[in-house]
Amino acid sequence: MNSISVQDFALQMNNPDVVILDTRDHGAFEENHLPQAVSMPATSLPNRLSELDKDKTYFILSHSGRRSEILANFLTDNGFNAVHVIGGMRAYRHVAATVA
Q: pTM higher than 0.85 for the full model?
A: yes
Helix (H, G, I), strand (E, B) or coil at 38: strand
Q: What is the mean pLDDT of the chain?
A: 93
All structural domains of the chain with their residue ranges: 2-99
Question: What is the distance between the alpha carbons of residues 69 and 84, in angstroms, rounded to a whole number?
Answer: 5
Residue 79: is its pLDDT beyond 90?
A: yes
Could you write out the DSSP letters of every residue in 76-92? Answer: HHTT-EEEEETTHHHHH
Helix, strand, coil % over all residues of the chain, rounded to 5: 45, 20, 35
Strands of the 38-39 sheet, one edge to the other = 2-4, 81-85, 57-61, 18-22, 38-39
pLDDT digits (tens, 9 = 90+) for 31-49: 999 999 999 999 999 999 9
pLDDT digits (tens, 9 = 90+) for 48-65: 999 999 999 999 999 999
Class of domain 2-99: alpha beta
